[in-house]
């Protein structure tokens, strides 16, 4: 089983969503907008993944207060500087408490 994290706004581009993940992240945003609690959002499907029948699952990750230290709007200068050094293409800033930060993503080939 492969396990990862992804988001519509990634800090590390190796976490970027593929097409299936992108569609699920958008679905989570829409479901949250319709009032579903962020910590209950999940979705799974058996789907074709690179020619292989695969079980895929995602669960949303809400943004908590702690997360704002590194993903919020007003970062400490030293945090800001280090993130710019390590992640020059960082998109994972400007979040507010309660926003969907991203999702866990699992994939397991179906036998
Ligand atoms: C101390 C700083 C720090 C804090 C606090 C922090 N993060 Fe992150 N977060 C990072 C860094 C750095 C990465 C990039 C990790 C990597 O290289 O894969 C990251 C990556 C992520 C990712 C993977 C997608 C991406 O952007 O690459 C998610 C999802 C995420 N964080 C959610 C959270 C949530 C939710 C919280 C609070 C519960 C949180 N983070 C708190 C620094 C932080």
CA of 10 to the centre of ligand 1 (A): 9
Q: What is the pLDDT of residue 50?
A: 86
28 has a pLDDT exceeding 80: yes
**Using CA positions, which residue lies closest to atom 37 of ligand 1?**
67
Q: Residue 16 has which token pair? A: 């970027």
pTM of the model: 0.95
The residue to which tokens 């999940």 are assigned: 42
**Using CA positions, which residue lies closest to atom 29 of ligand 1?**
102
CA of 95 to the centre of ligand 1 (A): 11
pLDDT in tens, 35-67: 999 999 999 999 998 899 999 999 999 999 999
111 has a pLDDT exceeding 80: no
pLDDT in tens, 74-105: 999 999 999 999 999 999 999 999 999 999 99
Q: Residue 53 has which token pair? A: 């029948």
Task: Return the percentage of the chain with pLDDT > 70, whole number.
Answer: 100
CATH class of 2-109: alpha beta
Q: Which atom of ligand 1 is nearest to the CA of 6?
A: 24
- Nearest CA to 101 out of 88, 111, 91, 86 is that of 91
């Amino acid at each position: 089983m492969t396990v990862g994290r992804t988001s519509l706004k990634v800090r590390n581009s190796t976490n970027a969503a593929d097409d299936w993940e992108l569609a699920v992240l958008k679905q989570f945003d829409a479901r949250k907008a319709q009032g579903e609690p962020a910590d209950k959002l999940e979705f799974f499907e058996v789907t074709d993944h690179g020619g292989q029948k695969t079980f895929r699952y995602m669960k949303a990750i809400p943004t908590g207060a702690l997360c704002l230290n590194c993903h919020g709007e007003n970062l400490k200068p030293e945090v800001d500087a280090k993130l710019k050094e390590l992640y020059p293409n960082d998109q994972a800033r400007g979040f507010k408490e309660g926003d969907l930060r991203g999702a866990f993503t699992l994939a397991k080939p179906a036998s």
